[in-house]
Chains A and B, each alone.
Chain A
Amino acid sequence: MLNFEYDHIVVRYGELSTKGKNRKDFIRCLSGNIKKRLADHEKLEYKTLHDGLFIKLNGEDYDVIAEELGSVFGYSYFSGAILVKKDMEEVKEMALKLANKRDYKTFKVAARRADKSFPLHSDDINRQVAGHILRNKDIKVDVHHPDLTIYIVVQNNDIIIMDEKVRGAGGYPTGINGKALVMMSGGIDSPVAAYLTMKRGLHIDCIHFASMPYTSKQALDKVLTLAKKISVSQEQIRVHVIPFTDLQLAIYDNCDEPYAVTIMRRMMYRIADQIAKNNKIRVITNGESIGQVASQTPESIGVIAKVCDTLILRPLCMADKIEIIDLARKIDTYETSILPFEDCCTIFDPKNPVTKPKLDHCEYLERKFDWQSLVDECVKNEEIIMVSYRDKEEELF
């Protein structure tokens, strides 16, 4: 309808601002993450604000930047902004353009002066701008629940005009809370768990257990594809691929069928524990959800997690499958997750897995074979693959 374009974006950090002495670290981390995510757009210029980041677009496409900002965790909202000279006529014209952007029925103007020497007070600005809009458009003022709020900030050298506040993805800047190792199967749950882990400020590595030839190359590719998709929130992800077949075969040779999955999960935790320690990672997370399968009953989780002294967090443990699927759809991993490739959890699917395993029986079964050296082999033979959403495919298409 109108030929106006945002020329700036203001990112507000929100929750962070309350963080007292750590604030500097937070802001450095978050600004760094935002700049890395937007690194493709060379023309952008950044200016640090006391509670945010001011980005000058210099002709870069607002919609593209807005979408990319959506995958960065830690800020509370951003707004498209237009900078005008300290001239009320310009302010009024631009505010009118914003009001005309959509078919708004009600509006209000919220002006603020950072430069107190500006001759007009906030209320005067509000009145002048609102008056101009009311004279030129069929619209009403509603100071409580307006369709549109026009924010005006008078700065030392210019005036910023903004309309919508676009909510960010929330959470904390990825990396601010250290590192986590995410157990990644290729199913629906684990990518969502990985996403939530990053959201709370943890920088992630992934660990994947591959059982070739029982699982195919495509099953591994699927996991790498998932990691690539979620890497938008932290640039790149290191995936530790563990050759798990020999250990898995030994489990099935030595353990009775109902306990096979319990023992398998214990071995996975042992390996994850070791990989975490080797990489100075202090948290392990995964997609376990209470009651979802036999190995995820409270009893099973309890017995399985006994083998691992690294802190284990389960972001999905209280979530329903349907909620997890909704989130998987939102982060665009669902369609990949449901591709029908076997993973090591489904391949030896026992008929009657135990739902209330006994710790002493697990320990009895594990005394029957030398699992320690097989676990060591797994750790020793890990293959590390680095993936990033920025990895380019061959220029074929």
Chain B
Amino acid sequence: MKKIYFDNVSTTSLHEEVLKTYKDLLDKYYCNSDALYDDGVVIYDMQEKSRALIAELLKVDKDEVIFTSGASEANSLAIKGLCLNQSERKHLITTIYEHSSAYNAFKQLEEHFGFEVTYLMPEDKSGQISADQLKKAIRKDTLLVSVMAVNNEIGIINDIKEIKELIKHYPGLYFHCDLTQAVGKIPFDLQDIDLASFSAHKIHGLKGSGVLVKKRHVGLLPLINGGQQESGIRGGTSNALCNIVLAKTLRLALEEEDKYHAYMLELGAYFKERIKEVEGIKINSPEGAIYNLINIETPLTSEVMLNALNLKNIMVSSKSTCGSRKNESNRTLKSMGIDDDHAIRVSFDHHNTKEEIDYFIDSIKEIIKKYA
């Protein structure tokens, strides 16, 4: 029986064009991109061309694009790299519901490096962090504000434009934005954002590949020491072939965002409409949340529901996959007053169909009838 993949926020399938290009490259190239003979130079040139194309797509300068192993590394590097590179300012602001890679970087800075962190809590049902709220939290010694564009567990979309406008007025205050769940889903603009991260595998690219955009005026302390790679900010032999195909990955994701936008909206609306039929289900995602992610509450505990759907060949998550093996309560859901023992996260991409949603609805009805 065909498997149904409703976990596209966790990771996505590989785009066939990306796969093809990557395979071709793997067959041909193995040299170090920093080697000075012809074969090395060829790879280096392709990587730099990719960097330039990515910069063009993001409307930033080429030397502002840093290749990383993914968004977790990009977040860690942005947050810790910035904070540890200076000693004057010791106050940081973020949200309670950032991805664990950002959240735990802040925790570390708090616990081991003497920083003070304000974790903003959502103040209304939208879950958004407001500029007002942020303004009240900013102090003279605030160094960094980090707010994610789109939350990965219930799909809150923050008003990044409003936040940028506010931060602009504070000299010496930096803004980092985790764009991981936004790229390929909603438009974004990197003007007035000092640091931004995203990952390739969330947009049908390769795992182990991502970008940190670091504006020219931002100084970072390298976390991985090495040679001259990535302007000395991120050492280690370049994962050149991954970096090369990231340009194509991003270009296709942005093209397909437009191409499938209407379809994705329709799919999300269809799911919400049909799930109403199922007794005992509540939608946890707020109004105005990102269209490809719907967090629901079911009468069964998350683990049992996940197992039952798994037996029906349906793949969903109970919480952020990065914390799936830990028995911790969920920060995002808790902060929104949502019962995190019964939450299931369903997330789509354009490969999903209404038929799959129909099958999901039938299955979940059956499961609830039998086990609730």
Contact = CB atoms under 8 A, between A and B. Distances in A.
A334 B196 CA distance: 45
A215 B367 CA distance: 14
Summarize A's interface: helix, strand, loop or mixed.
Answer: loop
Contacts of A342: 303
A117 B311 CA distance: 74
Contact of B308 (A213, A249, A340): A213
A212 B307 CA distance: 7
A213 B304 CA distance: 5
A344 to B, nearest CB: 13
Summarize B's interface: helix, strand, loop or mixed.
Answer: helix
A36 interface: no
Interface string B288-303: 0000000000000001
A43 interface: no
Interface string B303-322: 11111101100000000000
A214 interface: yes
A215 B303 CA distance: 9
A243 to B, nearest CB: 11
Contacts, number: 25
B371 interface: yes
Interface in A217-250: 217, 249
Contacts of A381: none
Contacts of A217: 307, 310
A216 interface: yes
Contacts of A214: 304, 307, 371
Contact of A216 (B303, B367, B371): B303
Contacts of B371: 213-214, 249
From B311, B327, B367, name the one whose CB has the most chain A CB atoms within 10 angstroms. B311
A214 B367 CA distance: 11
Contacts of B367: 213
Contacts of A249: 371
Nearest to B367: A213
Nearest to B312: A213
A340 B327 CA distance: 10
B301 to A, nearest CB: 9
A21 B328 CA distance: 63
A213 B301 CA distance: 11
A134 B308 CA distance: 74
Interface in A355-383: none
Contacts of B327: 340
A216 B308 CA distance: 9
A342 B304 CA distance: 10
A249 B307 CA distance: 16
Interface in A313-348: 340, 342
A217 B307 CA distance: 7
Nearest to B310: A217
A249 B310 CA distance: 20
Nearest to B308: A213
Contacts of A216: 303, 306-307, 310
Interface of B: 303-308, 310-311, 327, 367, 371
Interface of A: 212-217, 249, 340, 342
Given A214-B371, A342-B303, 7 more contacts: A212-B311, A213-B304, A213-B310, A213-B367, A214-B307, A216-B306, A249-B371
Closest 9 CB pairs of A and B: A213-B308, A213-B307, A216-B307, A213-B304, A214-B304, A213-B311, A212-B311, A212-B307, A217-B310
12 contacts: A212-B308, A212-B311, A213-B304, A213-B305, A213-B308, A213-B310, A213-B311, A215-B307, A216-B303, A217-B310, A340-B327, A342-B303
